[in-house]
Every structure is written in structure tokens, then in C-alpha cells.
Amino acid sequence: MAVGTSQTEGPSGAPSPASAGEHGTASGETLHMQLWRGDKDGGQFVEYQVPAQEGEVVLDVVHRIQASHAPDLAVRWNCKAGKCGSCSAEINGVPALMCMTRMSTLDTASPITVSPMRTFPVLRDLVTDVSFNFEVAKLIPSFTPAPPPPGGYRMQQVDVERGQEFRKCIECFLCQNVCHVIRDHEENKAHYAGPRFFVRLAELEMHPLDTLDRRAYVRERMGVGYCNITKCCTEVCPEGIHITDNAIIPLKERVVDSRYDPVAWLGRKILRRPAPMTAAEAAAHTSAATRGVSDAAR
């Protein structure tokens, strides 16, 4: 069960980290931290009061609570440097990395809520089951280069730069978390890869050495048509990847042209997958699911 459907959802009207501006956490002040505690069967926000300390990020405060009040508080983290993408959560309802959100950017006069990502089933407290993403990763037809010419591969810097932007992805899955196609529609997970994997597919499509044509597969199995370019994913990406403009839109353009590509047929033969969804079906799903205008029927 997604956290949001249990009794207490993060107050959606709470100020976002970004809009709250600099507040400064004066030492001596008391922080009112409301952490979501629970598991798949439900849970609630529990308030912990801890003294403010200078220069902390949200993850530090969570760790202090863990060390002093709640040794069994579950939280996932690794690098504490914004590099591994483990510590994704929703802070005052806004998806962000806990290790890169400074307390001084939050309004500490009011309680601060920290809840797990809503799109993924909660395991315990702030930790969610993100296995969906690892399953999708297995479905991506892998990089398939031509054999190297004598003297090795040559690529120009301009040609690798496009792919390099996409390869900055730290797999925090925040973009997956905000994408309404799966955030509000669990059932879409069966046929929708989500923005993280559109980034990956765009990277492969634009890789100077790759030879495989994945276009029909992208359209039919990866469900790129569901995306209606709301750009929510781009807004939360901690790596600043232009997910929609640089990955999804070009991918959609390529996919449209690919409908009768014979290589796609080969791809279909190689890759076992469920019955493809038609563009019309996709459009129906998408418009039902969203606020924006769907371009899926193009």
C-alpha cells in the first residue's frame, strides 16, 4: 500500500523546501520533526523534538533521532553526498534527497514532515520497495555495439556529451516517484517504464556505437506514449537532467517514425513481452490519468 493512502499523508499545503527560502536554524531552537513511521499495513507521523544544530541536512537530523530516540527507525542512505541516490523521500511533501536538503532551507518554526516516496510500497518507515525499477532495468534491451574497428572505437566529444548528460543519473527514482502515470495508477506499472528509463533508452538510442533499434519496443512495451510532458520529473531531478526536453521528447519523435520499421519486428522476436498496447489505448489511459494534454495519440 502506498503511504499516501494511509491515514496521514504529508500536508500537501506545506511550504516546499525551495520556496521556503533561507530561514536559518539557530542553535538552541527546537526542531519538530514529524517522521512517518509504519509499514505496509499502515502507519502515522510521529513527532520527535530535537535541538537544532548549525549546518545540518535533513538526513543528519533523522540520524540524530535514530541515535537518540528511535534506534530502529528505518532510513536508507549511503554516500551522504548526493551521489548514490539512496536517500530519496518527501520532505514537507516535496520529493528530494534527504542528504542534500539543508535544514536552513526549511521553515523550522513549523513542524517538518518526512515521509517515504509515495509511488513505491513502503517497507518500513522511510524505506520503500523500489524493486519495480530494478525489474524494468532488466527489460531494457542492452547496449549492442558494432565490433571495434582496427585501432579501437573513435567518438567525438560532441557526440558523447548527449549521452553523458543521461549517464549522470544516480537512480534516485525521484522522477519515477513524481510521475503521475504510476504515482496515481498502480496498474500502469505493468506497461510503463517511467522517466528514469526513458532517460536510459534515450541514451542508448543516441549512443554513437549502438546498433540496436529499440523504437517499437519503446513505444509498445516501455509505454512512452503515456507520458504527457508534464515535466514534473525534470523538476525534481537532483542531477539536473533535462528529462523531458532532452530525453523523452526526442524519444517520442523517434518512436512515432518507427511504426513499420522491420528491425522493430526483429526486436519483437527477440524480446518476450506482453501484448503491446495500441497508441489509442495508451491515449485513453493517459488522458484519464492526467491533467495535461496528451500527445500520446500522435
Contacts to ligand SF4 by CB under 6 A? 85, 169-175, 178-179, 181, 195-196, 199, 227-233, 236-239, 241, 243-244, 248
Q: Which of 168, 259, 273, 298 lies at the binding interface for another protein (CB under 8 A)?
A: 168
C-alpha cell at 153: 572505437
Question: Considering only residues 91-130, where is the footprint of ligand FES by CB under 6 A?
Answer: 97, 99
89 belongs to the binding site for another protein (CB under 8 A): no
63 belongs to the binding site for ligand FES (CB under 6 A): no
174 belongs to the binding site for ligand FES (CB under 6 A): no
- Residue with smaller CB distance to ligand SF4, 48 or 226: 226
74 belongs to the binding site for ligand FES (CB under 6 A): no
Using CB distances below 5 to 8 A depending on partner kind, what does residue 97 bind out of ligand SF4, another protein, ligand FES, none? ligand FES
79 belongs to the binding site for ligand FES (CB under 6 A): yes
Q: What are phi and psi of 219, to 5 degrees?
A: -70, -45
Q: Which of 77, 120, 166, 226 lies at the binding interface for ligand FES (CB under 6 A)?
A: 77
DSSP-assigned states of every residue in the chain: --GGGSS----TTSPPHHHH------TTPEEEEEEEEEETTEEEEEEEEEE--TT-BHHHHHHHHHHHT-TT-----S-SSSSS---EEEETTEEEEGGG-BGGGS-TTS-EEEE--SSS-EEETTEE--HHHHHHHHHSPPP-BPPPPTT-----HHHHHHHHHHTT-----HHHHH-HHHHS-GGGGGG---HHHHHHHHHHHH-TTB----HHHHHHTS-GGG-----HHHHH-TT---IIIIIIHHHHHHHHHTTT-HHHHHHHHHS--SPPPPHHHHHHHHHHH-SS---TT-
83 belongs to the binding site for ligand FES (CB under 6 A): yes
Straight-line distance from the first to the last Cα atom of the chain, in angstroms, rounded to the nearest whole number: 34
Min dist. Cβ of residue 235 to ligand SF4 (A): 9
Stretches 3-11, 54-62, 183-191, 289-297: which one binds another protein (CB under 8 A)? 54-62
**What is the rounded distance in angstroms from the CA atom of residue 223 to the CA atom of residue 217?**
9
Q: Which of 85, 93, 141, 267 lies at the binding interface for ligand FES (CB under 6 A)?
A: 85
Stretches 42-50, 108-116, 151-159, 245-253: which one binds another protein (CB under 8 A)? 151-159
127 belongs to the binding site for another protein (CB under 8 A): yes
Residues near another protein (CB under 8 A): 39, 53-57, 59-60, 66-67, 71-86, 100, 102, 104, 123-125, 127, 129-130, 134, 137-138, 142-143, 145, 148, 152-157, 160, 163-164, 167-171, 204, 207, 209-210
